[in-house]
A and B are shown apart, each in its own frame.
Chain A
Amino acid sequence: MAEKKTKAISELTWRDMRFGNVFTEPGSAVRYKTGDWRSQRPVVDREKCNKCGLCWLYCPDGAITPLDDGYYEPDLYFCKGCGICPQVCPKKAITMIEEEEK
């Protein structure tokens, strides 16, 4: 049984896996960081955004977060950089920039 709360996969030894491949805590995948798969990240231009929410609707990973002020922001802990959100944005308010760029 994996000690999920404290250890990353790279820290688990075979002794942690004595009961194979069962996860007793449902929904624990929210702790799985997929943001480090990304080579490009989406950047939202609030001047162009009309808060339509299509980016939030189309994001395959649920990584676009609706904010209290009505705008939307990508959650970079999960965003894999797939590039769908700029494609579906009717206002061209989202652009993908290289991760190397700051």
Chain B
Amino acid sequence: MSKRIALEGSFAAAEAARMADVDVIAAYPITPQTHIIERLADYVANGELKASYIPVESEHSAMSACYGASAAGARTFTATASQGFFLMHEVLHWVSAMRQPVIMAVCNRAVAPPANIWGDYSDAMTARDTGWIQLFAVNNQEVFDFVLSSFRIGEDPRVLLPVMVHLDGFTLSHVVEPVILPEQEEVNRFLPPYQHPYAIDPDNPMSYSMVMGPGIYAEIKKAQDVTLRESKEIILQAWKEFGDIFGRYYSPIESYKTEGAKTLLMSTGCLSETAKVAIDRKRDKGEDVGLIILHLWRPFPFEELYQAIKDAETLVVFDRCISLGGPGGPIISEVKSALFDKRKDIKFAGLIGGLCGRNLSVEQFEDALDKGREIAEKGSEEVFETIGIRE
């Protein structure tokens, strides 16, 4: 029998890695990620998890160690946030291009300066083009479920790509919620043993990542891009099977009360649950609004987006990250680009909020929806509007 217990998001991520029976963990502590790797260190120390735990001297080393461990055929896990995430940025590219299914939890946190520890997606969004599969969790159950399913997705021989699971710093990582943990036997049914087809082996020497020039680079990158795009089908398959075993079904874009909705709010991560309550209230008042939640950021779910917005006239996109000097928040930029050829009629409004852990209330989401509709109808002088900014 599965059991329902109280867990903070960090421990949910750690439990998923433990139940996936990871072989190697290499990590460097950074707020708000520390609880994940401390919990795993406990499990390794007390023998509950038979894994090598490599306490490295930096995040660059953490991801490098993960790269090597994964290349040797080990199931590999790490976690980081913000500044540490930036320090490992170079290696993120090595891991994805060299097709190593390293799984990483990222406790999203704002970028310094000003020095801070609180949550937003300005770390995650810098990794948009690193070639990783990227998932955003809305609650702690999704943290567990996404980390666990990441191993299955990333290690699939048709995929062999690393996966990041983004969870909001503090609002998920440090908040206790009920989480249903499955039986180990169920996990074993869902997650087959990992076998890398080109694991490095002294008895069977290979060369990894040779110098390659202009004559072949574009071909290698196209192959990588096609593989990442095609991974969406395997993600859908894995989540279907996940649902059949564990009873919870996931999709790249979750639709909430979208039936007949002319105005849709699009959101990501934990604030989507606050937005749900705002939608409930507006629905109770008879307003034709709904919510779509982006779970899968890379590969971008184009088809699912077209389907999710097909009856909508107005799309209000909520970004929890500012794209300095850019065409709006990172998500609305992509959504507009994705819909440019398909839905020239749809009206957009870009809203940014919740930066660096600033609270957003249900009422603010209700107001934001009204404001979004107004912007969409009348236009705005601003590229985007920031919810609750002091002018």
Residues of A in contact with B (beta carbons under 8 Å apart): 1, 9-10, 12-26, 28
Contact = CB atoms under 8 A, between A and B. Distances in A.
A33 to B, nearest CB: 13
17 contacts: A12-B216, A14-B219, A14-B223, A14-B226, A17-B219, A17-B222, A18-B227, A20-B220, A20-B224, A21-B208, A21-B210, A21-B212, A22-B98, A23-B206, A24-B198, A24-B204, A28-B207
B97 interface: yes
A22 B223 contact: no
Given A9-B216, A19-B198, A21-B209, A14 B97 contact: no
A20 B219 contact: no
Interface string B183-218: 000000000000001100000111111101001101
Contacts of B208: 21-22
A24 B212 CA distance: 16
A65 B146 CA distance: 59
A21 B206 contact: no
B99 interface: yes
Contact of A20 (B98, B205, B215): B98
Contacts of A28: 207
Contact of A17 (B160, B204, B205, B216): B216
A10 B218 CA distance: 12
B223 A15 contact: yes
Interface in B254-288: none
Nearest to A27: B205
A1 B219 CA distance: 12
Given A14-B223, A17-B223, A22 B216 contact: no
B162 to A, nearest CB: 13
A59 B112 CA distance: 52
Given A26-B205, A26-B207, A21 B219 contact: no
Nearest to A2: B216
Nearest to A22: B198
Nearest to B225: A14
A10 B215 contact: yes
Interface string B242-256: 000000000000000
A1 to B, nearest CB: 8
Interface string B82-109: 0000000000000001110000000000
A15 B225 CA distance: 12
Contacts of A19: 99, 160, 197-198
A13 to B, nearest CB: 6
A46 B216 CA distance: 42
A32 to B, nearest CB: 10
Q: Most chain-B CB neighbours within 10 Å: which of A12, A13, A23? A: A23
Contacts of B227: 18
A21 B205 contact: no
Interface centre among A12, A13, A18, A26 (most CB of B within 10 A): A18
Contacts of B206: 22-26
Contacts of A13: 219
B260 to A, nearest CB: 44
B369 to A, nearest CB: 44
Interface in B225-243: 226-227
Contacts of A20: 97-99, 209, 220, 223-224
Given A22-B207, A26-B207, 16 more contacts: A9-B215, A10-B215, A12-B219, A17-B216, A17-B223, A19-B160, A19-B198, A21-B98, A21-B220, A22-B98, A22-B198, A22-B206, A23-B210, A24-B206, A25-B206, A28-B207
